[in-house]
Amino acid sequence: MAESCRGGWAVEVGSDELRQSVTFSLDLRRGTGPEAAIGGAETFCDVPRPSEGFDSRCGLHWPLPAGKGLAFWNNGKMSDLRGALVVTFSVEGEDAGGLLVRGWGGYFRLSFERAEPSCEAHLSAYGHHLRLAGPWQGVHEFTIRASWDAHVGMMLSLSDEKQTLGSVARNITWHAYQTRCVPIEIGGEVRDTRPEARIWDNAFTGCIRQVACYSLPVEPPGLPRTEAGPSAGQPSSDLWTGLQAADAPGLRASRATPRGQDAPGALPRVAEGLTLLELYDPPIVDSPLRFDVVPNRLENYAACRREHPEIVESCRGAKSAFEGLLTAARWVAGLWPHTNYWPWPRRIFEDRGDVLLRDIKAGNVVGMCGGFAHVMEEVCWALGVPARRTQVYGHSSFEAYDHTHDKWICLEADNHCHAGHWAGPDGVPYSIGEQIAILDRDAVEPGACSRLVRHVPLGCQAPVGQANVVNPEQWFRSCYIYMGYNRRNDYGDPEPAPSYWYMPPWYRPWTPDPAGSPGAKALVEDWRTMYWSCDRVRVTAEWAASSDRIELSLTPFQAQLLDGYRVVVDGRPAVHQEPRFCWRLHPGVNRLEIAVRTQLGATGHPWRAVVHRRP
């Protein structure tokens, strides 16, 4: 074989320890029923198994008859932390080989390819690749052993009945998700897991005699390493204040026009002896389409934080609400890989956070983009942050209300290829509506998208590896030409309509409703109506009445489960409950900041003022 040969590493497969570590064993000389499957092995996606064609010598021949497939769901002790896969197969006559086994939703692939006068064995796993290549020697039956350990590396060997023909090791580390619900597809793959669209694609020609999976490596998977593997997160010991309003860049220099002022940009007239140095009073955006309230929110908030303290722990040390959102998204992205929606039905779309996270951490629930988006919904609600899953073209995305920037932002936690957010030249993240508007502009001003949008990676582990990551701008252009918000099943309130959707007028002639079910949807002509302010406070001040105090009226807006106000006078924070506040002024510079507080732990975007009083 052509690559680094490490013969003599083979471990006796019949050893007691290794025999006890078997999690799945299938002998295809007798039939398609697994002899061993710890935790149970059910038919994956209800793909019908073949019932004939078994050979007592070489096993079952591929391609399988039309409509048949060989896919199992192993709900046992298989793990991407460490383990092994052993496949015995043969290629004769015109057989070319192909895909032997696919697992973990496609990011583990073991294959053999015969193309005389050479042959190759391939292992693609966790974003890395091992390849054994050499001359075809006319050997008809082979055994491939693939072993792995997330803290050491991986090992691939190819042998016949008499000797090890070649082996190669790679010393790498990766983030192990330890997902237990592992699809095992043999000799092909399920093209689509939806019940109405399941199709089995044969991807191998030849005979497969036996497939066995182990919870321990059958060969040393690499050379010992002294450095530690990648960490799942390094939270600091500081209390997380990220959900308390923090200064976004440039806010101190802003001078928003107070409501009711005639001169745009002018500061209001104040009492004799006072000078209003600074006023930050950003507009509050209303919308008739608000439907982000879910029932039982306070109880579920408490249950999530009690049963899953990692939610808050992952965010400790965050310096702003935006940084807190990013760290929470990294934690979600590290819970499971981008895999199939299985088992069906897709619980991962509907379960509440406390139940869903418990099963995800146990390795019993997996899913793709929509699953990541819904889990982000639940995690954000457990942190007191308004959030919603957003359907875009061919993808489920996610938006959260960022208290730092006082706006909704698009934040992807799906770790398949594009986890992160899209930001402008100033670093401020975009909402999905803003992204659609940029693509709309790019249609008449080519280059606008490349100039105005940059992708900021989330920095999470991705088992498919950077080599397989799609071009972020290509993903941006293909997905963000449509958006729709679907009411959750547990909202309860029949109003407003079940969902709203928007797409640019120039795109509508091609596909009026790509997400289907147009009867339950309401077309929105202006995407900006889908975005509203959250956790804000309207402040009305009596500037001209007195030189030693200012009376303020406080009105919360879209502050769910209000718990009063966070008032900071000259840097000293306090809790205030009443709808009026008396700001007593001392000689010199006086500073005031007011924001809403909610029972969900959030502190909204603040109103600020700086006043100078003459002695």
Model confidence over 166-220: pLDDT tens digits?
899 999 888 888 877 788 999 999 887 777 778 899 999 999 999 999 999 998 8
pLDDT tops 70 at residue 151: yes
333 within 8 A of 419, measured Cβ to Cβ: yes
pLDDT at 223: 59
How much is the average pLDDT of 273-302? Answer: 86
- pLDDT band at residue 6, thresholds of 50, 70 and 90? very low
pLDDT tops 80 at residue 14: no
How much is the average pLDDT of 408-418? Answer: 86
366-379, pLDDT tens digit by residue? 888 889 999 999 99
- pLDDT band at residue 69, thresholds of 50, 70 and 90? very high
Per-residue CA distances from 387 to 144, 355, 374, 379, 420 (Å): 47, 18, 9, 9, 16
Query: 372 Cβ partners below 8 Å, 6+ apart?
Result: 332, 333, 338, 396, 398, 412, 413, 414, 415
Q: Is the peptide bond before 230 cis (omega within 30 degrees of 0)?
A: no
304-356, pLDDT tens digit by residue? 999 999 998 888 888 899 999 999 999 999 888 887 777 666 788 888 899 99
- pLDDT band at residue 363, thresholds of 50, 70 and 90? confident
- pLDDT band at residue 357, thresholds of 50, 70 and 90? very high
460 within 8 A of 338, measured Cβ to Cβ: no
pLDDT more than 90, % of the chain: 48
How much is the average pLDDT of 16-38? Answer: 87
pLDDT at 399: 95
Per-residue CA distances from 190 to 185, 202, 380, 413 (Å): 8, 9, 33, 25
* CA nearest neighbour of 99 among 118, 85, 117: 85
pLDDT at 61: 96
Strands 499-502 and 521-523: parallel
pLDDT at 138: 80
pLDDT more than 70, % of the chain: 84
pLDDT at 266: 66
Question: What is the length of the chain?
Answer: 615
Q: What is the CA radius of gyration of the chain?
A: 29
pLDDT tops 60 at residue 469: no
- pLDDT band at residue 157, thresholds of 50, 70 and 90? very high
Range of lowest pLDDT (12-21, 85-94, 140-149, 333-342): 12-21
Q: What is the mean pLDDT of the chain?
A: 83
579-600, pLDDT tens digit by residue? 999 999 999 999 999 999 999 8
- pLDDT band at residue 12, thresholds of 50, 70 and 90? very low
Q: What is the DSSP letter of 338?
A: B
- Indicate the pTM of the whole model: 0.82
Amino acid at residue number 548: D
pLDDT at 511: 63
CB atoms within 10 A of CB 597: 25
Q: Please report how many Cα atoms fall inside a 13 Å half-sphere around the Cα of residue 596, on the Cβ side.
A: 28
Secondary-structure breakdown of the chain: helix, strand, coil percentages, each rounded to the nearest 5: 15, 35, 50
- Angstrom distance (rounded) from CA 197 to CA 46: 12
Q: Which residue has the higher pLDDT, 486 or 414?
A: 414
pLDDT at 563: 94
How much is the average pLDDT of 281-294? Answer: 82
Alpha helices in 423-570 (DSSP H): 432-444, 448-452, 472-479
pLDDT at 262: 36
* CA nearest neighbour of 32 among 190, 186, 198: 186
- pLDDT band at residue 11, thresholds of 50, 70 and 90? very low
Domains along the sequence of the chain with CATH:
16-214 (2.60.120.200), 251-283+534-613 (2.60.40.10), 297-530 (3.10.620)
How much is the average pLDDT of 274-287? Answer: 93
431-465, pLDDT tens digit by residue? 999 999 999 999 899 999 999 999 998 887 766 65
pLDDT at 510: 66
497-551, pLDDT tens digit by residue? 567 889 888 887 766 555 555 556 788 899 999 999 999 999 999 999 999 999 9
pLDDT at 222: 76
pLDDT at 607: 97
pLDDT tops 80 at residue 470: no
pLDDT at 139: 79
Residue 169: both structure tokens together: 């090791």
How much is the average pLDDT of 563-571? Answer: 96
222-255, pLDDT tens digit by residue? 754 433 333 333 222 222 222 222 222 222 222 2
